[in-house]
Amino acid sequence: MTLSVNTNQPALIALQNLNKTNEEMSGVQTRINTGLAISSAKDNAAVWSIAQDQQADRSALSSVKMSLDRATSIADVALTAGESVSDLLNQMREKVVAAKDSSLSTSARKALDADFQGLLSNLTQVVDSATFDGANILDGSQTASITFLADADAQTVISLNLQTLSLGSPNNSLVAGDSIASLTQATAVLTRLDSTIASVNQAVGSIGSQAKQIDAHNTFVSKLSDVLETGVGNLVDADMAKESARLQALQVKQQLGAQALSIANSAPQIILSLFGSGG
């Protein structure tokens, strides 16, 4: 090895190696701290770009799921109310059939009519209360089907159709003024009531089918979001076990590099010792 007072090549090489080790350690520590093997475009531009695109889709799916959750709630509230309406109609039919008994006393008929009127009022209350977040598909307040997001591009929607069950609607031919106070009135009401029961049950069944469809799509969106999250993780997440082992190896390498640099820096002292011994 040539000794020079102008250039200490071994020290320069040792310093370069130590700097490289320190740089590698900095990268490992960043990956350990962030948990990411690729945290910026400069780490790997192609993979970072793909991961960002997938993350954008996943974020969009969060909005889709929120929309579908709202759809589920609106449908579930409507379904519960619709089933209650169906139960009320069955109770009303019981009263109407009883009112067709020509042998009833006036007081008994009045009692049946009072019960019938109470059920009519309850039906209206149930329909009017079937509201979630300002939406009610049963009371006729909506003018069109309610649409909800179905995909991350917002190009596809899923609809919840209106099923009006309020008095005097196409699905419910009963009206607020209906009475079973007489045999004639009870006979007339029974005909319309039977038609209403059939229509309401069909409408409630339709709500149930749509609610099931919304639930199924919501489940799919949740699974798709999970898959995207896993995919992004596979692309950018750091292998912590490998990074830990790499850090330990680099720490040893750093210590050895520092010692090598110290030894290289002491080489010029040999020149002084040579001249000293010569004097």
Supply 215's token pair: 């639930």
Per-residue confidence band for 45, with pLDDT thresholds at 50, 70 and 90: very high
pLDDT at 83 over 90: yes
Residue 8 within any structural domain of the chain = no
CA 7 to chain centre: 65
Q: Is residue 168 domain-shared with residue 194, that is, in the same domain?
A: yes
Q: Is residue 228 domain-shared with residue 142, that is, in the same domain?
A: yes
Residue 81 within any structural domain of the chain = yes
Please return the burial class of 89, using the count of CB atoms within 10 Å of its CB with bins 0-12, 13-18 and 19+. buried
CA 53 to chain centre: 18
pLDDT at 5 over 60: no
Q: Is residue 251 domain-shared with residue 118, that is, in the same domain?
A: no
Q: What is the pLDDT of residue 278?
A: 46
Angle at 210 between CA 206 and CA 211, to 5 degrees: 115
Q: Is residue 149 domain-shared with residue 201, that is, in the same domain?
A: yes
Give the residue with greater pLDDT, 159 vs 38.
Answer: 159
CATH of the domain at 167: 1.20.1330.10
Q: What is the pLDDT of residue 212?
A: 96
Q: What is the pLDDT of residue 74?
A: 97
Q: Is residue 183 domain-shared with residue 73, that is, in the same domain?
A: yes
pLDDT at 157 over 70: yes
Q: What is the pLDDT of residue 274?
A: 63
Q: Is residue 89 domain-shared with residue 153, that is, in the same domain?
A: yes
Supply 269's token pair: 């002292």
Q: What is the pLDDT of residue 118?
A: 97
CA 30, CA 23: separation in Å to the nearest integer? Answer: 11
Q: Is residue 111 domain-shared with residue 175, that is, in the same domain?
A: yes
Residue 37 within any structural domain of the chain = no
Domain that residue 268 falls in: 240-279
pLDDT at 4 over 80: no
CA 159, CA 211: separation in Å to the nearest integer? Answer: 10
Mean pLDDT across the chain: 89
Query: Which residues, 6+ apart, have CB-to-CB distance to 38 below 8 Å?
Result: 44, 47, 48, 51, 235, 236
Mean pLDDT value of segment 102-122 = 96
Please return the burial class of 275, using the count of CB atoms within 10 Å of its CB with bins 0-12, 13-18 and 19+. exposed
Which one, of 132, 140, 130, 146, lies nearest residue 86 by Cα? 130
**How many of the other CB atoms lie within 10 Å of CB of 113?**
20
Q: Say which range, 42-56, 208-222, 265-279, has the weakest mean pLDDT.
A: 265-279
Residue type, 6: N
CA 189, CA 174: separation in Å to the nearest integer? Answer: 8
Q: Is residue 196 domain-shared with residue 79, that is, in the same domain?
A: yes
Q: Is residue 57 domain-shared with residue 159, that is, in the same domain?
A: yes
Number of domains in the chain: 2
Residue 107 within any structural domain of the chain = yes
Residue 1 within any structural domain of the chain = no
Q: Is residue 263 domain-shared with residue 130, that is, in the same domain?
A: no
Q: What is the pLDDT of residue 34?
A: 77
Supply 74's token pair: 């609106």
Q: Is residue 174 domain-shared with residue 279, that is, in the same domain?
A: no
Residue 109 within any structural domain of the chain = yes
The pTM assigned to this predicted structure is 0.75
Residue 40 within any structural domain of the chain = no
- Phi then psi for 276, rounded to 5 degrees? -65, -45
pLDDT at 276 over 70: no
Give the residue with greater pLDDT, 29 vs 93.
Answer: 93
Q: What is the pLDDT of residue 3?
A: 54
Q: Mark which of 236, 252, 271 sits at the end of a domain.
A: 236
Q: What is the pLDDT of residue 103?
A: 94
Answer yes or no: are the C-beta atoms of 12 and 4 closer than 8 Å. Answer: no
Residue percentage of the chain with pLDDT more than 70 = 92
Q: Is residue 185 domain-shared with residue 264, that is, in the same domain?
A: no
Residue 5 within any structural domain of the chain = no
CA 195, CA 201: separation in Å to the nearest integer? Answer: 10
Q: What is the pLDDT of residue 200?
A: 98
Which one, of 166, 206, 205, 190, lies nearest residue 85 by Cα? 166
Q: Say which range, 9-18, 206-215, 261-270, has the weakest mean pLDDT.
A: 261-270
